Structure 1
Amino acid sequence: MKYILFDFDGTLADSAHLHMQAWNALAERYKFKPVTMEDLHLTRHLTIQQRARLYNFPMHKLPVILPKIYQHFKDNIGDVQLFEGIKGMLDTLANQGFVVGIVSSNAKENIELLLKQEQIGSVSQVLSSSKIFGKDAVIKKFIKQHNITPDQVLYVGDEVRDIIACNKVAVPFMWVSWGLDGYELIEKENPKYVVHTPAELINKLIPKL
């Protein structure tokens, strides 16, 4: 495989605290429950739908809430960093000839702002899904755009919705353990790879290094 697509939040960007801040700022207005960092850890085994029920969040309000969360992200971009080792990992992959891209439900502008802030030049393309469950369509568009086959692409992400999207378009999936969802959710979808650090990701794809 030559093309590697990354999820952004929870995979490259350590942004859970910022999304939690935005969620809690909106909770009282929209009548759903606030969350803590401990809650995020304790609910790693739950699906998005199960978490929504737990926190009294109506899923049909996602189109209203998500833009507000991403605006909060933009307004506080200086508080976001990449996970440790991510910059070196991206640079290594690009230097080894991989085409590195990002497919995320976060706003393209936000992603590009953080890449600039972190001085990342190894990402060749950023694609944003307007729907939180619409990544399969974006990945399919990427494949068509580059005139390649699904087995030439690897998607790297941290959530079960990512691997479900990849399975729809027959793209291999690598799960990273440092993100939002726990392995209990991912295991049943049969990821091709499981990694626990950026260094392990490199070793999986470039064993000789």
Structure 2
Amino acid sequence: MKHIIFDFDGTLADSTQVFMSTWNTLADKYQYKKIKLNELESLKKLSLTERSKLFNFPMYKIPIIIPQFYRLFRQSIKEIPLIDGMKDLLQELKMKGHTITIISSNDQENILEFLKLNKIDTVTNVICSSHIFGKDKIIHKYLKDQQLKPSEVIYVGDEQRDIVACKKVGVPIIWVSWGYDAIEVVRSEKPDFKVYAPAEILEII
């Protein structure tokens, strides 16, 4: 296992609160339904499509909203905590000789600023796409560029779409329980591994 790929939001960064406040700012502007604090846990049990219906947000508008969303998101980057235990995990993986990459649909500038604020220097690559679907294409390109077999890589992510993308390219995936999608959403996609604390990731690898 040479390369470890991490998702960002919900996996490395506990960005739920900032995500909610950013969404609510845009909801005010475009008359979408706002997210309430007491809804967060129940939202994790809904698919992305179900969430979009709940908030009266048409999925086809994602490419229009995403750039605005992440510009607003950047203003609160200092408020986003790193998941407990994740910094130690990254250092341990690096020490053992693994290459660590982040592949995310967040903005690259946001992630680089987050890593800088948290004094994380263990990440070699940060690869981003404005398309929230189609991570399989980015992972496939990464494998090709790095001359890697799917079996030489493992992906760590929290969402159903991460699992779907990994299945398409044959890369094993570790689903983390502390992210955006609850087990009820991802169970049917059958992630290769399920973890409930960062230390368990190291055990699997």
The aligned counterpart of 1:193 is 193
Question: Within 5 A, what are the aligned runs for 1:74-89?
Answer: 74-89=74-89
The alpha carbon displacement at 1:39 in A equals: 1.4
The alpha carbon displacement at 1:118 in A equals 0.5
Please state whether the residue corresponding to 1:13 is helix, strand or coil: coil
Which secondary structure state, in structure 2, belongs to the residue aligned with residue 123 of structure 1?
coil
Matches within 5 A, 1:28-39: 28-39=28-39
* Alpha-carbon distance between aligned partners in 1 of 2:159 and 2:101, rounded to the nearest angstrom: 17
Give the Å deviation of 1:123. 0.5
Worse overlay, 172-181 or 67-76: 67-76
2:180 aligned partner: 180
Q: What is the rounded CA distance, in whole Å, between the counterparts of 2:124 and 2:164 in structure 1?
A: 24
Per-residue deviation, residues 146-169 of structure 1 (Å, max 9, x unmatched): 111111110100000110011111
State the AA in 1 paired with 2:42: L
Q: Which amino acid aligns with 1:198?
A: P
- Confirm or deny: 8 A CA contact 2:32 2:57 kept in the other structure: yes
Partner of 2:171: 171
Paired letter, 1:84: D
Would you say the 8 A contact 2:63–2:130 is kept in 1?
A: no
4+ long deviations beyond 6 Å = none
- Match of residue 23 from structure 1: 23
Identity %: 45
Look up the SS of the partner of 1:97 in the other structure.
coil
8 Å contact from structure 2 (residues 66, 130) kept in 1: no
Helix, strand or coil for the counterpart of 1:102?
strand
Distance (Å, rounded) in 2 between the aligned partners of 1:122 and 1:156? 16
Q: Report how many aligned residue pairs link the two structures.
A: 205
- State TM-score, norm by structure 1: 0.95
Contact 1:40/1:180 (8 A) holds in 2: no
Match of 1:44 in 2: 44
Deviations 1:121-154 (A, max 9, x none): 1101000022000211110110001111111110
Aligned to 2:162: 162
Q: Structure 2 regions of 5+ residues with no counterpart?
A: none
Q: Is the 8 A contact 1:6 1:101 kept in 2?
A: yes
Equivalence for 1:152: 152
Distance across 2 between alignment mates of 1:34 and 1:106: 21
**TM-score scaled by length of structure 2:** 0.97
CA drift at 1:25: 0.8
Amino acid at match of 2:56: N
Partner of 1:101: 101
Name the Cα RMSD after superposition. 1.0
SS at match of 1:126: strand
Query: What is the rounded CA distance, in whole Å, between the counterparts of 2:183 and 2:47 in structure 1?
Result: 12
Distance in 2 separating the partners of 1:131 and 1:37:
27
